[in-house]
């Protein structure tokens, strides 16, 4: 990781710098807040800024916010100065490190920032096959499109490719295309000159120049506006970018990895994604399986998250009870690994006794099968949970369309024809439900009549 220190390297701050370097961090040093901002604007980048509380922490945080430079700030100062620590946290610092520095505390902060969860945890051969392909193509400079549902770990695989590439000594820079407003994304990617638009207080290099020589991840690229897609395509073809407000193109050497939780071929058909850009990005496609497709990974990931959040919360690392494992194996996991991580975080906090039992497993859109004492509250629910993993076997041989149709009609009958309630249960929009029902009617399939309150709708 790259650490930027604001303050004198004499004495205690210098000691903190030495500890960080001994833990593998690359450290840069500046004497003022303005000098730090110049470093960050220049594209040199940093993963963490450490600032002596003698400086104006609030001015730094406010400037970073105004210029949309997303980097965590950690303050440091003499440990006995409690007032300075409070002021720093209120100003926006994520942490306060007392001086003289403690080696383990420095290591913990660096670990939290670099997120050691970047390690890939898997046992299932389905995931293993994807990673073998990723490792095989990593040494090339080919663009890679990583597709898959939300929460499957697309960014983790992108980082894995970077680590296995010839560019591993250079920077890995990620930009979330869905999180940045459309009118600011161009500047975020390509940079801007001073005065190019309101708020452009100084020249700032964009993510392409920041990642020069390394890897640029375009996360959720399908969310990018079509007009900006044309500029991205030119940057990929010509290997040069134009800063907003700039007069001359800038050459860049960047390996592109893009991710999407949508089917880009479908977006092309809808006219929301350029076909030529898809061809340019999709030289190699890595499709990440959902957690439902890699069941052997559920136990491994659950154990990993239990250990992680037990240590984080200072709690004992309890094993997962067999009954709890069965519940995890039978769940649908629409949120994939991200949902499993949140579930295990809750379980670590709620567990009591010598293990993590089923009473601590609170699943999204599911009722716990056990009461607070850990006894069986509903034997039918428990039996259903245990049998759920085999329930899908009865669907083998049927098409997805047939299964979807039966599910929609059965849910509608359960709701006595109420379209709104049925759509909520199914997790789809009322418009999608009505379109499906019109299709079924056209195909001659009986559809439950609408409830009294909804008769005019369909």
Is the domain 294-390 a CATH 1.20.1250.20 member?
no
How high is the pLDDT of residue 397?
65
Tell me the fold of 131-287.
Rossmann fold (3.40.50)
pLDDT at 389 over 90: no
Type and span of the H or E element at 147: strand 144-147
User: What average pLDDT does this structure show over 373-384?
Assistant: 37
Q: Where exactly are the structural domains of the chain?
A: 2-114, 131-287, 294-390, 400-457
Own/partner pairs, 84-89, CB within 8 angstroms, 24+ separation? 84/53, 85/53, 87/53, 87/57, 88/53, 88/57
Domain 2-114, CATH homologous superfamily name and number: Response regulator (3.40.50.2300)
The CATH number that domain 400-457 falls under is 1.10.10
How high is the pLDDT of residue 240?
95
Q: Do domains 2-114 and 400-457 have the same CATH topology?
A: no
pLDDT mean across residues, the chain: 83
**3-state secondary structure at position 272:** coil
The answer to whether the CB of 241 falls within 8 A of the CB of 208 is: yes
The answer to whether the CB of 173 falls within 8 A of the CB of 214 is: yes
pLDDT at 314 over 50: yes
Q: Residue 379's pLDDT band (boundaries 50, 70, 90)?
A: very low
pLDDT at 392 over 70: no
Q: Residue 377's pLDDT band (boundaries 50, 70, 90)?
A: very low
In DSSP notation, 214-252 reads SEEEEETGGGS-HHHHHHHHHHHHHSEE--BT-SS-EE-
**Which residue did the predictor score with more confidence, 146 or 434?**
146
DSSP-derived secondary structure letter, 52: E
């Amino acid at each position: 990781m790259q650490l930027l220190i604001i303050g004198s390297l004499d004495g205690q701050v210098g000691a903190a710098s030495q500890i960080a370097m001994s833990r593998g961090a690359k450290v840069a040093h500046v004497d003022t807040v303005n000098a730090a901002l110049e470093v960050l604007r220049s594209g040199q980048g940093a993963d963490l800024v450490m600032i002596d509380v003698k400086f104006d922490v609030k001015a730094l945080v406010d400037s970073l916010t105004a210029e949309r430079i997303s980097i965590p700030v950690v303050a440091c100062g003499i440990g006995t100065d409690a007032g300075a620590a409070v002021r720093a946290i209120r100003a926006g610092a994520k942490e306060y490190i007392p001086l003289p520095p403690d080696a383990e505390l420095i290591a913990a902060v660096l670990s939290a920032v670099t997120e050691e969860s970047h390690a890939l945890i898997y046992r299932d051969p389905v995931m293993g096959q994807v990673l073998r392909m990723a490792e095989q193509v990593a040494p090339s400079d080919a663009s890679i499109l990583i597709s898959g549902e939300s929460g499957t770990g697309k960014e983790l695989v992108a980082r894995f490719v970077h680590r296995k590439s010839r560019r591993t000594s250079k920077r890995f820079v990620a930009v979330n295309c869905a999180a940045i407003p459309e009118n600011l994304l161009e500047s975020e990617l390509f940079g801007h000159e001073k005065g190019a638009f309101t708020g452009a207080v100084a020249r700032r290099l964009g993510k392409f120049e920041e990642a020069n020589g390394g890897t640029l991840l375009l996360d959720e690229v399908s969310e990018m506006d079509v007009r900006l897609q044309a500029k991205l395509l030119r940057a990929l073809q010509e290997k040069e970018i134009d800063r907003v407000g700039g007069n001359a193109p800038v050459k860049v050497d960047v390996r592109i990895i893009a991710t999407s939780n949508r089917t880009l071929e479908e977006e092309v058909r809808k006219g929301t994604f350029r076909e030529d850009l898809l061809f340019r990005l999709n030289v190699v496609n890595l499709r990440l399986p959902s957690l439902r497709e890699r069941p052997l990974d559920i136990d491994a990931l659950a154990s990993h998250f239990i250990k992680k959040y037990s240590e984080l919360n200072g709690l004992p690392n309890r094993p997962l009870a067999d009954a709890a494992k069965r519940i995890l194996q039978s769940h649908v996991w629409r949120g994939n690994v991200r949902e499993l991580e949140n579930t295990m975080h809750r379980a670590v906090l709620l567990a009591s006794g010598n293990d993590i039992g089923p009473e601590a497993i609170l699943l999204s859109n599911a009722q716990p099968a056990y009461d607070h004492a850990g006894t069986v509250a509903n034997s039918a629910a428990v039996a259903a949970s245990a049998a759920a993993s085999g329930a899908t076997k009865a669907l083998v041989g049927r098409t997805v369309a047939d299964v979807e149709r039966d599910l929609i009609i059965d849910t509608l009958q359960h709701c006595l024809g109420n379209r709104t309630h049925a759509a909520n249960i199914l997790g789809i929009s009322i418009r999608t439900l009505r379109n499906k029902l019109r299709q079924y009617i056209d195909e001659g399939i009986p559809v439950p009549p609408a409830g009294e309150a909804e008769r005019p709708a369909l």
